[in-house]
Amino acid sequence: MEAEVREPGDALAAPAGWRPLATHPVGAIIAHYAERSFVAGDPTGQGIRVRYAWRAMSPDEACVVTAAEPAALAARAWFGARAEGPPGHAHGGSMAAVLDEAMGLAVWLAHRAAVAAHLETDFRRPIPLGTTVTAETTVGPAEGTGKARATARLVGDDGTVFAEGSALFVLLGPRHTFAGGGA
C-alpha cells in the first residue's frame, strides 16, 4: 500500500528569478525530450514530478561555456509515494536520478547535448515523501576537450541540503547515436 503524501500544489513553479524551460530557444527542445524522460516524464504521477527552469548565465559563469546563449538550469522536484525507499522517504535512486538529469540538462544548456559518463552522489539527509526541493546546478570545465563537469544539490525550501551530485559528461558529436533510437 502506498503512503499518503502531501500534493505539491503550485510548489513546482519556477523559483523567483527563473523562467520555465520551454521559454528558452534550446530549452524548448530539451523540454520536449523531458516529456518522455524516466525522470520528468510523469508530471502528474505519484513518483517523481520535476519541472525545469532557466536563467541567463552571468558573464562570470559564461566564460566556461560554448553555447551561443548559455543558460543556467534549476529544477523543482517533488517526491511522491511511488518514489519511496526507506519508509516514508525518497529512494536514493530517485534522488540520484533527479541530480543526474538536472546536471545533464545544465550541460546541454551551457554547451550542447551530452551524456553522463561518471556520476557521484552524496546523500546528506533523507527526503520525506511529499517534499518539494530545488535542484541547483553548476557547470564547469573538465580536463580535456569534449567533456564537461557539472554539480547539483537538492535543497529544501528551508535551506536543508539533502543530496549533492557531481558528474562528468561527454559532449555528443557525430560519432554518437544518442540523439535518436528507441521505438
Q: Interface residues for ligand 3IX in 127-146 (CB under 6 A)?
A: 144
Least Å distance, CB 104 to ligand 3IX, is: 2
Read off the C-alpha cell for 135: 535542484
Identify which range of 32-40, 57-65, 84-92, 148-156 contacts ligand 3IX by CB under 6 A.
Answer: 32-40
**End-to-end CA, the chain:** 33
Question: Distance of alpha carbon 85 from its chain centroid, rounded?
Answer: 20
Residue type, 9: G
Coil, strand, or helix at residue 33? helix
User: How many residues of this chain bind ligand 3IX (CB under 6 A)?
Assistant: 23
Contact status: 34 vs ligand 3IX (CB under 6 A)? yes
Q: Is position 170 an interface residue for ligand 3IX (rule: CB under 6 A)?
A: yes
Sequence-ordered list of residues with C-beta below 8 angstroms from that of 44, at least 6 positions apart, any chain: none
Helix, strand, or coil (residue 106): helix
Residue number with CB closer to ligand 3IX (28 or 115):
115
Binding pattern for the stretch 69-108 against ligand 3IX, x by CB under 6 A and - elsewhere: -------------------------------xx--xx--x
Do 139 and 111 meet the contact criterion of CB atoms below 8 Å apart? yes
By CB under 6 A, name the one of 19, 22, 29, 37 that touches ligand 3IX. 37
* Closest alpha carbon to 140 in 68, 74, 65, 59: 65
Among 15, 117, 120, 125, binds ligand 3IX (CB under 6 A): 117
Residue sitting closest to ligand 3IX (CB): 104
Closest C-alpha to 56, from 48, 45, 67: 67
Residues that bind ligand 3IX (CB under 6 A): 33-34, 37, 40, 100-101, 104-105, 108, 113-118, 144, 147, 168, 170, 172, 176, 178-179
